[in-house]
Homo-oligomer: A and B are copies of this chain.
Amino acid sequence: MTTPSQTPVFVVEGVAKGFTDGYRPIQALRPISFELYAGEIVCLVGPSGSGKSTLLRIMGGLIPPDAGAMWFEGRPHNAPNTAIGFVFQKTNLMPWRTILQNVLLPIEIQQGKVSPVQRERAEAMLATMGLKDFEHAYPRQLSGGMNQRVVLARTLLQQPRLLLMDEPFGQLDALTRERLNLELLRLQAAEGVTILMVTHSITEAVLLSDRVFVLSERPGRLIAQTPVPLPRPRDLTLISTPDFGAIATQVRSLIGETG
């Protein structure tokens, strides 16, 4: 499952979005079209304010686009769907729930209650994230990076078929980040989930992706869908290869053009 099949899981066609700030209209996203294939990892890069979060929020069904249409697994898509996992840019944990309770929230919501099996799975997931000892702590007792891992654990536990991630590793230190990158690759390989992820790190984008999408400065326009034809499974040694360097340089220059 490490190479994308040719079934489009998610189709975006001509989606555009504008906001008004007071009376001034702000065009956040110019009409954008693309397809995501099953089991594929796509990273979305682009300058701050280019509309990355806006695009993900539209795809998640949280805000309606001004124009265009979307299809998820063959059906028209315009509302939140529990098969789509969403990692928001800001860590959104409930301060009154312990870490474990936070991770179990989606299950509670969708199934009404939590079975012992699910609880064990959640505990295992937290252990994977290096949070074994913090199950009964509250979010404010953990560092920013730890909380981000809790959010990841919560989302992955839902076993979504499509994963939308908005800078999920932003607050992590270099080492943890690399560890989680590898963990994500492993999980994705095992479960075949499709991933669209926003990141500011070109290295991360190239390491993880099958394709890298580059957005232009505001108003966002999809200026490139660079394929990353590197073999899988991947690991950190890949970073120092010339092939990797070449693709990274290419992406960097594409972003540079947007400026």
Contact = CB atoms under 8 A, between A and B. Distances in A.
A146 B173 CA distance: 21
Chain B CB within 10 A, most for which of A45, A170, A173, A176: A173
Interface residues of A, number: 25
Contacts of A14: none
Contact of A48 (B45, B173, B201, B252): B173
A146 B21 contact: no
Q: State the number of copies, please.
A: 2
A175 B141 contact: no
Interface in A33-65: 45-49
Contacts of A256: 175
B145 A175 contact: no
A173 B200 contact: yes
A77 B21 CA distance: 47
List the 4 closest A-B pairs by CB distance, nearest first: A48-B145, A173-B200, A48-B173, A174-B200
Interface of A: 21, 45-49, 141, 143, 145-146, 170-177, 200-202, 252, 255-256, 259
9 contacts: A21-B141, A45-B174, A47-B173, A48-B176, A170-B170, A170-B171, A172-B200, A174-B202, A174-B252
